[in-house]
Amino acid sequence: MVNLSVIHITTHNPNSVKFEPSKKAKQKLNAMNISFKDKVALVTGGASGIGFAAAKAFAEAGASVALADINESAALKASKELESLGYKVLAIKCDVTNEMEVKAMVEKTVAVYGRLDVAYNNAGMHVPVAETADALSEDFDKAIAINLKGIWSCMKYELQQMRKQGSGAIVNCSSQSGLVGTANLGAYTAAKHGVVGLTKASALEYVSRGIRINCICPGTTETPMVANAVADRPEHMDAIISAIPQGRMGKAEEIASAVLWLCSEGAGFMIGQAVTPDGGYTIK
C-alpha cells in the first residue's frame, strides 16, 4: 500500500522543493460561493479520488448527486458516507464501456431526480508503462474503450436528456497527457488527446441549444489510481512528479473545485475549453 500523505514528497531529485497549500487555502477550496441548489449532478468514477471529491463538492453546494462507479460496493459505501453528512446521493453501478449500462445510469438519475443539470464524466484508467513497440494491443483497446469511448457513451445519453431540457453543463476528464506527449504511455495519451477533440466537437454542436461542454486536464493528482502507479512504476512516476514546477502533486479537491466552476453559471462563456490544473507541468 502507498501512503498518499507522503507520495508528494517522495523524490530522488535533491533540488526539488515541495510546497503544500496552506490550511487557509485548503479551507477555501470549496468556498467560491457556487450554488447548485435544486440542481442534479451526475459523476462517473465517483467512488474515489477526483470523482468522489467532485461528488462531495456538488453535494456540499446543494446538488442532488448521482454517484456512479463500476465498483458497486464502493459506490454504495461512498454514497452512504455522503448521506451520513446529510446530502442527497444516489449510488449507481455503471461500467462505462457498456453502453446499455450508461443509458440505464442516465435514465435512473432522471427517474429518481426528475432531470439532469450537470455531469462530470470522470471514469478512467491508467495503462501499463511500455514503449509503443512493446505495448499490448489489449491494453490499447482497454484504454480507448474506457478513457475515450466511455466518455462518448456518457455524453451521448446525457445530451439526449439535456437536449430535451434545453440546458445543461458537461465536464469531461482528460489529462495533462491530453495536451502533451507522455513517453511510454502511448495508449493513455492517445485516448486523453481524443477526449479534448471530442469535447471541442461536441461543444460546437450544442452551444446554441443551451448546453455547455468543456474538459478538465488534471496534472498528477493524489488519487488511488496514482498511488497504484507510484507503487507499480516508482521511477517512471518519480520523474513525472519531480517535473511539476509547483513541486507537489495536486489534491483531488483542487481538481473538483475547477470542475464545479466549469459547471457553474460563472463559467457561462466557457465553451469547448481544456482547463488545466497541473502545477505548471504543461507550460514548460
**pLDDT tens per residue across span 36-58:** 999 999 999 999 999 999 999 99
- How far are the Cα atoms of 85, 190, 263, 271 from residue 117, in angstroms, in the given order? 22, 29, 9, 16
Q: Return the pLDDT at 15.
A: 43
Residue 183 lies in a domain: yes
* pLDDT average, residue stretch 4-33: 45
pLDDT value of position 230: 84
Domain that holds residue 272: 36-278
Taking CB atoms within 8 Å and a gap of at least 24, the contacts of 187-191 are: 187/127, 187/135, 187/139, 187/140, 187/143, 187/144, 188/126, 188/127, 188/143, 188/147, 190/140, 190/143, 190/144, 191/143, 191/144, 191/146, 191/147, 191/148
Number of domains in the chain: 1
Q: Which of 87, 113, 120, 188 is catalytic?
A: 188
Nearest CA to 263 out of 177, 164, 175, 162 is that of 162
Residue 10 lies in a domain: no
- Predicted local confidence at residue 21, as pLDDT: 52
pLDDT tier at 69 (50, 70, 90 boundaries)?
A: very high
- What pLDDT does 231 receive? 86
Let me know if 188 is a catalytic residue. Answer: yes
Grid cell at residue 179: 495536451
Residue 12 inside a domain? The answer is no
**Domain assignment of residue 189, yes or no:** yes
Residue 26 has pLDDT above 80, yes or no: no
Per-residue pLDDT for 247 more than 80? yes
Mean pLDDT of the chain: 90
How much of the chain, in percent, has pLDDT values that exceed 90? 81
- Let me know: does 65 contact 87? Beta carbons within 8 Å: yes
Question: Looking at residue 2, what is its pLDDT?
Answer: 34
Residue 266 gets which letter from DSSP? Answer: G
CATH number, residue 247: 3.40.50.720
Q: Is residue 159 part of a domain?
A: yes
20 within some domain: no
Per the structure block, which three cell numbers stand in for 212? 455547455
pLDDT at position 22, please?
52
Residue 71 within any structural domain of the chain:
yes
Kindly state whether residue 171 falls inside one of the protein's structural domains. Answer: yes
- Which residue would you say has higher pLDDT here, 33 or 237? 237
